[in-house]
Each structure stands twice: as C-alpha cells, then as structure tokens.
Structure 1
Amino acid sequence: MILLRCIVVSSLLALTASCSNSGGLRHLDPSLIHNGRPTEAEAYSDFLIARFAAMTNDPQKAAEHYALAIDTAPEKSGIADRALFASLLSGDYREGVRLAQRANALGSEAALVRLTLAVEALRVGRDDDARPMLEQTRFGPFNRMIARGLSAWRVVDTQGTDAAVRYLEDGLSGDPRLDSATLYMMGLIEMSAGNDDTALSVFNTLWESGARLAVGVEAHAQLLASRGQRAEALEILNTFDETVGHNASIARLRKAIEAGERIKVRRLNPDEGAALAVYVPAAALMSQTDDDVSAVYFVLALALDSDLHVARSLWAQSLSNAERWDEAISVLARIPDTSAFYATSRGQIAWALQRSGRSQAALAVAAEALDHSPDRGLKVQLADLYRTVGRQAQAAELLDQIIREDARYNREDWRLFFARGVSRGELGDWADGERDLLKALTLEPDDASLLNYVGYSYVDRGEHLDLAMDMIRRAAEMEPNAGYIIDSLGWAHYRLGNYEQATEHLERAVELEPGDPVVNDHLGDAYWQTGRKLEARFQWRRSLTLDPTDGERDRIEAKLVAGPSIPLVKQAESDAGVQLPKPVRP
C-alpha cells in the first residue's frame, strides 16, 4: 500500500511538472482531479482489509470492514453475509442482528442470516417474524436440523406440547441412531410439560440405541432419580463418564445422587429449549471439525439462554483452538461460581494462560479454583498442567490423590494411571512408573497412544524390545498417519540395528511431523548409520532450528562434531519380554 501511494504521488508530481511547463493547470480537465479515492477503491480497500483480518484471526476487525464495504460493494448481500459471520464469530450478537437485517433487506438467502433473525424474533416473542425465517426447504441438512429444533420450541410456545411433538414426529426416519437429536428434543419437550412417563420412554429408547447426548442423559438420570430409581440413574451417569468422558453437569448430578439429595427435575421453558436446539448440533459439529464455525452457533444459543454455561465453555474452547486466548478467557470469566461449569471454566482459563506463555498465572488460577471447588475434573486438569510445565512431583502427588479418591467408588481410570506413570518415569522412578503404565494397559489395552508410549519407553531403555516392537506396530496399525507413532516404529528398528527399515519409517514420520525436532533428529541418526552423512548433518541442523530442549540441543550439537554414539541394543537380563496381565475392562 505504501509503494502504491508513492507511485501515485510520483505520477501526480510528474503531471504537475508537465502542466507547469505548458502554462500551468488552466487547460486540465477538472474531472481528472479527485478529492479522495474513488468509491470503488474505498470498497475494495475495506474488503481486502476485512479478508486479511479474517485470515489473520481477527474477526472483530473483519466484521467492521466488511460492514463498511457493504454499501459500496458491487455484490452487497454477499459482503453483508460475510460481515454477519465475522460479527458473530467475534461474539457481537447485537451487531450480528443488525447486519442480518441489512443482509435480509439486500435479498440474502444465506442460512445464517435467517437463523440469526429467527433467534432474535424468538428472543423478543415475535412468532410471526420467526416462522418464515425457519422455513426448512431453504436450509441445508445441518442448518435444517437447527431450524427444526427451533421451530419445535416455537410451536411449544404458540400451540402446545402435543403439536410440537407431532411436528417432530413428522420428520423421524424410524432409526433411533439417525433420529437421536430429534428424539432427545422430543423427550425434553415432554419433560418440560410434565409428561414424565412419555419422556422416560423416549430416553430409554435412546439409551438402548447407544445414543449418548449429555443434556439428554442428564435429563434421563434426573427423571430416574426423582422417582427413586437412584441405582439406575447412577449406572447411566457412570457409563456416560466411562464411554464419553467428563461432563461437569453430569458429575454434579452424580454427586448429588450419591449424597442422597432430593433430585429436582428441570423443566425447560421455550427459550431454554430453543437454545439447546442450537447448541446440540453445534457441539456435535465442533467434535468433528477443527475450525471455529461452531462458535457462531454458540453465540446464537447464548442469545436465547445466557445461563447455558456449557455453550459458553465450548465457545471458549473454540476460541482457544483458534489461539484467541484473551477472548477465550473473557468468555470464561462470565461463568459464575454457582455454575456446574465453574471449575471446568477455571481449568480452561489456566490452560489458555499456559498456552499463551503465562505459566505462573495459569498455575495460580488453577490452584485458587481448586481451593474454591475441589472438583475431580479440575484436579485432573491441574495435574496435566503441572506435567506440562515440568512440575512432575506435584503432578504425581495430585494424581495419587485422585486415584485414591476414585478407589472409594470402585472407579479405575486408565488415563490417570497413564499420566502418573509418565510423571514417575520423568522423576526417575521407572519401577513404579512401569507398574502404572502396565496397569493402564490392563484397563485399556487398545489405546494407540498408550501402546506407543510404553513401547517407546522400552525401546529407549533397550528393554523388552520384541514386546516393544509389537506394541508400536499395533499402535501404528490403529493410527497409520500419526507421525509420533511412526517415529517410534522407526526408532525401534534403529535400536535393533535395522537401519534401512528405520530410515524408511523415519522419513515417513518426518513427512507427517516436519516441525518436530526429535523426529528430525532420529532421521539424522538413521541416515548416519546408513552412510548418508551429509543428509544426517542436514537433519540435525534442521532439528536445531525447531526449538529442541536444552538437553536435546547439546546432544545434537555434539553429533554434528563427532556423529552419534553406537546405539545401545539389549534385552532385559531377567527375561526376553515382560508378561502383561490379562486385560480387564473397567
């Protein structure tokens, strides 16, 4: 832009000089002189700034400049659509509504425009405005699912529960697995009206089909516990935790049931139900993609129900995934300490601080939150945080505590034994570390990361190499495109002296993980052993540019002078391989 302006200025100076030599500017056409840039230039300038802002992860600036370009752009509605998306992505719902109204007035057919206007109409009670915006023939499959859920809760508000259920039934395929989102919404609608027998029948059908939606499972367990069926409720909640993972609301409900508290069934109002109709598909979308598109839907859900803290938690996670750390922290800071997601949110804040280079602040936030709420999930997050910053002793101590607490409830989580085994190994306590890792394998024998870690640990120690090779091969079969696992496979061959095979696998590993200093270092060693010394030094020099640890840097620099030492290859003296206990599923 600076260069362009210099060229323009130079051209004008040349023109002025020419005119002066021919009698000044008396005969110059006034239309050639502009007070400022042409309108088209302004539009393109704003558009390009907006595009650059969008590509560089600044949706707020993108929204601002897309909005400025709308009136002067040749294709106004398309620019308005972009402005709306960027505005919601930045979390500015009010501006998003304004831009959706502009886009609609310009004739936009974008799904996000209609959904935004529908959400706003529902939020302020304008059913007549919401209905045409939710016409399903105008949506693709994903947005049609959201529109259908919103419409169902609109019908609840205007025509009653029976009409809403009939509306949802018309769209069922007959397969509970395909219809799970619709059936969960139907169950929540029945429950909101107090039709608990019908709701329970729907939830039972879904559970038996294998569907596992957190908000639906929570409602299912609430109904069971409120009727005195506490054992059945706990079985459902424990199964969800083991098969899907930790959820703060479910953890709070389980704790209340275990404590013998009276369980109250939550009856949703139409706005709360409509918020879930947007949130549920968005959460599913987020689990399947790495981009931040789901964030715009979380913003819409929160416009309908500002207390839907799980949406705020996932919105912040999408911001963190996009490395918008401060925005993520700002979103999470609005979750109150009365929420089931308070402890989770503080763990997320701690991780956002850690990943943005503020380790001490991260540890302080996590520790303070733990004092306020001794939540198991937060303890796990803090243990992971300790391991990440190298405080392995504190990590191991906290993991000890969690494992002991779990034992009181006959719960064994392989991930905790895995993490504690890693920490103990880092602390030099390989005997106890190995015991934890083997315990984790008895509980979860088919996890690729666990198999790879144990196998790699044995290879690196020169122990149980046949078993180690078998573990790593199994991991590679499960995840053939995981660079760190292919690196382990190559390194195992290297330690066994199979240098040609090692080179083949390590070259593949570098293709998959080109920015990993360890993988590049390993390939350099393999090249050296096969006589390719020039290429070896190239890989070691490249590894030095990839921010290795201080210890790795010293070792690589030494190899650049003298080459690698002969690799240690041995089996454990006691036997040819360790015998794993028979796997036991928890």
Structure 2
Amino acid sequence: MPVTVFSNRPRFRTLMRSLLTAGLLSGCLAVSGNGLSAEPELADNPYGNYLSGLHALRSSDYATASVYLDAALRESPDNAQISLLAFQSNWRAGNLDRARELAAILVAETGRTTGLAPLFLGLEALKEGEYALADQLLTKAQRDPLSHVILPMANAWLMAVQDKREESFEALSRLRSVAKPIADIMEGKLHEYYGDWAAAEKAYLGGATDPMTLYSGTQRALVRTYLRQDRFDEARSLLSDMLARNPNAVELEDDMARLMRDKNLEPLTETPLQAVAEGTLLIAQGHNDWAVKMDLARLAVSLDPTQVNGILTVGQLLDNSGHYAQAIAMYERVPETDYRQWQSRIQTALSRFNMGEKIDAIDDLEEMALERPGQLGPLDALSRIHHSEAKYDLMLSALDRLVDRLKTDQPGHWNYYHRRGIALSSLDRWNDAEQDFLHALKLSPDQPDVLNYLGYSWVDQNINLDKALGMLHRAVELRRTGYIIDSLGWAYYRLGRYEDAVEELERAVFQEPMEPVINDHLGDAYWKVGRYREARFQWERVLGLDLEGNEEVSADEVARKLEYGLSNGG
C-alpha cells in the first residue's frame, strides 16, 4: 500500500502528512477509540436510515452502513439503489451470507449484469460445482473495470474443471492483452493442473531469461516446477538466490526448511478455486483504489477461506481505514501453524498501538524481537512506532539493533539506513546521519526521499551545492510531489536564485495549497523578486491555515514579515 512516512525535510514534520505502510496507520474516520464503530441508532423511517447508511458508506464504515441500509431496505424492499448499497456495505464488512442474498436479489430482480454481484454469484456457483449455472452467470456478467480481468480468468478455470482444455487456454488468451503477468501465472497454473510441468515452467518465465526478475510468487512456483521435473539442485539454487536477496522473507525461509527436510514442496495452489483466488488477490494488490482492493480481497477469501495472503490483505485494508479491532479479528484467522502468523502478530501489535494499547504493543514487539533474533520485522515495526511519536532515541535504538542483524547489504536495505539517518539527524548527529544517507544511496541510488533529504540538508548547510542541486532535480524527476518540489524551490532561494525559486515554489503551492511552510516559502521568494503585494497575500494565507503544533512555521514570525517585509525584522 504505498505512501511514505518520512519527512521530506531534514527535520521531522510535527504534523505527519503520511502514514506507515507496514501497518502503522492513523484512523482517518470517525470511529471510537478502539477502532470500533459506535452502535447504530436506527431511525423510525427508511429515509433517515438510508441517509445514515449513505454517510457511513462514504466514510468507509461498512459495518455501520450495512445495519442502516439493511433497515432501510426492509422498509423499501423494491428499491434497487438501496439493494446495491446494502450489498456493497455487507460485502465490505465481511457479512458474506447477507451479501450473497442481496447479490441474488440484484441479479434476479433487477437484472444487474455489471459490478461484483453477478461475478460473485458466478464464482460461488463454480465453487459449488454448479458449472452450468456458473457459465450462465459469468456469461451474464458484463466486462467492467472490476470484472474485465477476472472474467477471462474465471472462464478459463470453468472450462478446465469441465475437461475442456483447449477452451480453457483460449479463454485465458483474452486476459493476455490486459494483464500479461497475471495471464502468465494463470497459464502456468493451468499447465500444472494438466500435469505438464515443462509447459508450466515456460509459462511462468513469460519470456524472461532471469527468474530473479519475476514476481516472488512466480519464482516460488518455478521452484516447484523444477522439483516436479526432478531438478532438485536447480530448485535449491533458485530458492537460495531468492533468500540471499530477501533474507528475512518468512515464506522463503519456510520453503527452504521444507525443501531440505522433505526434498519436495507442496503446490502453492492445489485446486482451480485456489488459483482463481490467487489471481483475484494479485489483481487486488495492483489497484490503488481502497474500495476495489477490499472488494477483490474479500472475493479471494470467499473463494478460498484458507487464502492467508487474502486474509492479511483484508486486515491491512481495515487498518488503513482505522478499523483496528476488525483488522485484529482478521489477523486472528491466520492459523498458528502457518508461517505467515509471524506477520499477523506484527500487524496485530501495530493495530493495538493505534487503538491506544501502546505499552502492550511495544512489549509484544520487543518479545518477538527476542524470540527470533534473526528477524527484522519486529524491530522495523518498533522503529516506525517510535518515529510516529518523534522518539528519535528509541527509533535509533531499534534501527541500530536491526542493522546489526543484516548479514549482507541488499538494495532493499536502503530504507533502514535512510530512516536511521533521519533519527540521527533529529538527534543532531549530522556526520553519522550523512554517512547513513550516502550508504542508502549506494544501495539504491534513485530513492527520491533520500535524494531530497540529503540534498536539502547540504543546501541548508551551504555545502556540496552543485551535487545537492543535482540530487534535488533528480528527486523531482522521480517523484513530483509538492513537498519535494518545495525542497528544490527553497534550495534555489537559499542560493539566491530567486526567480528560479518562485517558479518551483508556485508549482509546489499548486500541488499542496493548504501546506503552511510551502506558502510561507513562496511569500519569501515573491518578496525577494519585488512582488511585495503577492508576498503579503501568501503570508496572510499562511496565518489562515492550521499552524497548531507546526515546528517549521511561526505565526509570530509570519506576522512580523507582514508588517516589515524581509528588509527589517522579518
């Protein structure tokens, strides 16, 4: 999921604009302190319940929305719009039995052929072995943004379970033009289903010559095709390479332990429904829209209740929307014997932290860090928790312990050094921080956050100016956010290139019009080029924005600039 938590300035922004992608996410909705919605109070008329349900739905509080909309539907059972909204709410809340009833109403009584309802019913029919009904429903489902990828995949497996081999690959060919990577994976799984391991290997590779360039799930599938062809050494070699690049990936560690113990690995998917569920989850993970991701992740879990990655995805999406107790309930569905329970425990601790159980959450993560001395996840989570509270000494301690556990440098480790650099910089240990930023860039040269932070810091200290400007230009090329553009503009300002500063800072304000520090910078730049009226307009605007807790903009200083400009006292 991803946004960045780290400040784009050398100092941590008091009002964090971003959240933590590893599960430490602030609730942005009106929920109670523990992440549970308040008990809905039903109105005595359907219109009141409809409006309350609509409000809850738009706030992504689907559990509450489902209660209100079900109540409204009881009073207006023939209202197709309420039926649709009630279906969406129950579906996203995980009330799948009720969602199934509403989907049947939508398809049978309103003739609905788009969206999730007919697709869900078609796949449910496939799950129950009712192939004729599945064919009827999937044929009825029109291709729309939600189903245009899933339909050909579902149809391919519908043909496969009816022993229609040629038709199954023909159906899958329609997927290739819109989602080739997923088509390659599904083709490989179809060949596995038919027992043709060499063809499966070729499909998984998809024309690639280096397996290490593929999606990790495809790499794991390739390992299994090698084993089925009695190529144990190649399987072990590929898995070893994968572990070397991702030394703390619990699924790879689990694969290696099983491989060395049993000389074999079970298939990643063993039934057509599991294959459809995995494909559906891959589609979900490729979407940026929260609601679409939730719809598809729920669909994957409904098709295959053992789909642990789907369970974790639903939990993380609930975390993202501030429903922490519901997220924990999903994480608790991960079996104790599954290697991914380790991840679920970390996510549960982060959810508990966000619910206000801070001490218990930190204690849980500290215990996990001791439990598996080679694992990075608990320390990574601890560092993010301490970062969110601006406790840089504790953040540094967690990251020091984490870096000590790194056996070899990998490109993906840049993030740890970047964040340790932020902690060191915030503790006024700039020389040490600079070494970490440079090491992060050595591991992964084109990371805009690192380029931005280090480049801006150098400009701020009036050192390495040419190199710093180059870094900031590159950061803007890689990620044109208002905050990074502001860094470049402010660098120009500090260098006395005021016209250039105005040009960049105007772009930054256009992207982030409500950000006080960027508006303040633009006001300063306007003053320096003689645009005094516009400068005062920007400073007045700053005073009208929310400055509470903002360490970068002082209301008193802005007021002085309004009175005196930058020639005196400003």
Residues 1:45 and 1:396: Cα distance change in structure 2 (over 3 Å) = closer
- Matched with 1:264 is 265
Of the two, which has the highest radius of gyration? 1
Equivalent residue, structure 2, for 1:172: 173
Q: Where does residue 199 of structure 2 map in the other structure?
A: 198
In 2, Cα distance between the equivalents of 1:129 and 1:330? Answer: 34
Partner of 1:67: 70
The 1-side partners of 2:257 and 2:453 are apart by: 34
**Equivalences for residues 30-41 of structure 1 within 5 A:** none
Q: Is the 8 A contact 1:448 1:476 kept in 2?
A: yes
Decide whether the 8 Å contact of 2:489 with 2:501 is kept in 1. yes
Q: CA distance change for structure 1 residues 463 and 251 in 2, over 3 Å: closer, same or farther?
A: farther
The separation in 1 between residues aligned to 2:78 and 2:455, in whole angstroms, is: 58
Residues 472 and 489 in structure 1, CA contact (< 8 A), matched pair in contact too: yes
Q: CA deviation at 1:194?
A: 4.3
1:233 is aligned to 238
Q: 1:560 to 1:248 in 2, by over 3 A?
A: farther
Which residue of structure 2 lines up, in the alignment, with residue 27 of structure 1? none
TM-score by length of 1: 0.76
Q: Deviations over 1:234-267 (max 9, x none)?
A: 366369859xxx865345435766x777341325
Q: Is the 8 A contact 1:224 1:233 kept in 2?
A: no
Separation in structure 1 between the aligned mates of residue 78 and residue 456 of structure 2, nearest angstrom? 57
Q: Is the 8 A contact 1:183 1:202 kept in 2?
A: yes
String of CA shifts for 1:32-64, please: whole Å, max 9, x gaps: xxxxxxxxx944443323222212222223233
Q: Which residue does 1:87 correspond to in 2?
A: 90
1:301 and 2:300 matched? yes
Displacement of 1:298: 1.5
Pairing 1:452–2:452 present: yes
Letter in 2 for 1:440: A
Matches within 5 A, 1:204-223: 204-205=205-206, 207-208=208-209, 212-223=214-225
**Correspondence for 1:127 among 113, 127, 131:** 131
What is the deviation of 1:175? 6.3
Shift of 1:454: 0.9
Aligned counterpart, 2:55: 52
Measured in 2, the distance between the counterparts of 1:42 and 1:421 equals 58
- Cα displacement string for residues 80-132 of structure 1 (whole angstroms, at most 9, x for unaligned residues): 22221111111111111111122223133233111222233334443343231
Q: Confirm or deny that 1:280 pairs with 2:271.
A: no
Q: Deviations over 1:261-306 (max 9, x none)?
A: 7341325123322322432222222xxx233222122112212222
Q: 1:387: which partner in 2? A: 387
Moved more, 197-206 or 558-567: 558-567
Instruction: Decide whether aligned partners of structure 1 residues 240 and 135 sit closer, same or farther in structure 2, where only a CA change above 3 A counts.
Output: farther
Name the counterpart of 1:151.
Answer: 155
Q: Does structure 1 conserve the Cα–Cα contact (< 8 Å) formed by 2:175 and 2:183?
A: no
* CA pair 369-271 structure 1, distance change in 2 beyond 3 A: farther
Task: Report the more deviating stretch, 394-403 or 79-88.
Answer: 394-403
Residue pair 2:519, 2:538 contacting (<8 A) in 1 also: no
| 1:414 corresponds to | 414
Q: Distance in 2 between the 1:175 and 1:298 partners?
A: 22
Change (3 A) 1:512 1:343: farther
Q: Which stretch shows the higher mean deviation, 347-356 or 194-203? A: 347-356
Structure 1 position 344 matched with structure 2 position 333? no
Change (3 A) 1:142 1:183: farther
Which residue number in structure 1 is paired with residue 437 of structure 2? 437
Q: Per-residue deviation at 1:430?
A: 1.5
Q: 1:336–1:173: structure 2 CA closer, same or farther, 3 Å change rule?
A: closer
Judge conservation of contact 2:157–2:168 (CA < 8 Å) in 1. Answer: no
The more displaced of 85-94 and 67-76 is 67-76
Question: Match of 2:223, as an amino acid?
Answer: A
Cα pair 1:319 1:328 within 8 Å, conserved: yes
Q: Distance in 2 between matches of 1:175 and 1:103?
A: 30
Equivalent-residue separation in structure 2 for 1:423 and 1:431 (angstroms):
12
Change (3 A) 1:347 1:507: farther
Distance 2:76 2:86 in 1: 12
Instruction: Give the partner amino acid of 1:52.
Output: H
| 1:158-180 residue CA offsets vs partner (Å, 9 max, x unmatched) | x34xx346412344269699433
Q: Deviation at 1:200? A: 1.9
For each residue in 1:1-58, what CA deviation from the matched residue of structure 2 results, as whole angstroms up to 9, or x when unmatched?
A: xxxxxxxxxxxxxxxxxxxxxxxxxxxxxxxxxxxxxxxx944443323222212222
**Which stretches in structure 1 are left out of the alignment for 5+ residues?**
1-40, 568-586
Q: Distance in 2 between matches of 1:97 and 1:419?
A: 46
Residue pairs, 1:352-367, within 5 angstroms:
352-355=351-354, 359-367=358-366
> What is residue 581 of structure 1 aligned with on the other side?
none
Whether contact under 8 Å (2:118, 2:141) holds in the other structure is: no
The answer for the alignment partner of 1:376 in structure 2 is 376
In structure 1, what is the Cα distance between the partners aligned to 2:77 and 2:304? 38
Shift of 1:220: 1.4
Check the 8 A contact 1:134/1:148 in 2, yes or no: no
CA distance in 1, matches of 2:106, 2:45: 20
Q: How many angstroms apart in 1 are the aligned matches of 2:468 and 2:169?
A: 53
3-state SS in 1 of match to 2:407: helix
Q: Secondary structure at the match of 1:462?
A: coil
SS state at 1:219 partner = helix
Counterparts in 2 of 1:121 and 1:373: CA distance versus 1, 3 Å: farther
Q: Which has the higher contact order (CA 8 A, sep 6+)?
A: 2
Q: Measure the CA separation in 1 of the matches of 2:354 and 2:485.
A: 26
Partner of 1:16: none
> What is the rounded CA distance, in whole Å, between the counterparts of 1:121 and 1:240 in structure 2?
41
In structure 1, distance between residues paired with 2:478 and 2:52: 44
1:564–1:330 CA distance, 2 compared to 1 (3 A) = farther
8 Å Cα contact 1:403-1:412 kept in structure 2: no
Farther-moved stretch of structure 1 (494-503 vs 467-476)? 494-503
Q: Name which of 114, 119, 130 aligns with 1:115.
A: 119
Q: Is the 8 A contact 2:409 2:443 kept in 1?
A: no
Question: What amino acid sits opposite 2:509 in the alignment?
Answer: V
Change (3 A) 1:470 1:250: same
Cα shift readout 1:439-482 (whole Å, capped 9, x = no counterpart): 222232222222111111112223222221221122123333x0
* Inter-partner Cα distance in structure 1 for 2:93 and 2:107: 20
Do the aligned partners of 1:136 and 1:147 also contact (CA within 8 Å) in 2?
Answer: no
Does structure 2 conserve the Cα–Cα contact (< 8 Å) formed by 1:527 and 1:535? no
Deviation, 1:424, is: 2.0
Residue number in structure 1 paired with 2:190: 189
* Letter of the 2:136 counterpart: P
1:527 positional shift: 5.2
Moved more, 67-76 or 276-285: 67-76
Write the distance in 1 (CA, Å) between the matches of 2:323 and 2:175.
42
| Change over 3 Å in CA distance of 1:262–1:380 after alignment to 2 | farther
**Partner SS state of residue 266, structure 2:** coil
Q: CA deviation at 1:216?
A: 2.7
TM-score, length basis structure 2 = 0.78
CA distance in 2, matches of 1:141, 1:301: 17
1:99 is matched with which residue: 99, 102, 121?
A: 102
What amino acid maps onto 2:286 in structure 1?
A
Contact 2:156–2:167 at 8 Å: present in 1 too? no
Match of 1:335 in 2: 334
Runs of 5+ consecutive residues of structure 2 not aligned to the other structure: 1-43
- Is the contact between residue 451 and residue 475 of structure 1 (CA under 8 Å) also seen in structure 2? yes
Give the aligned partner of residue 538 of structure 1.
Answer: 540
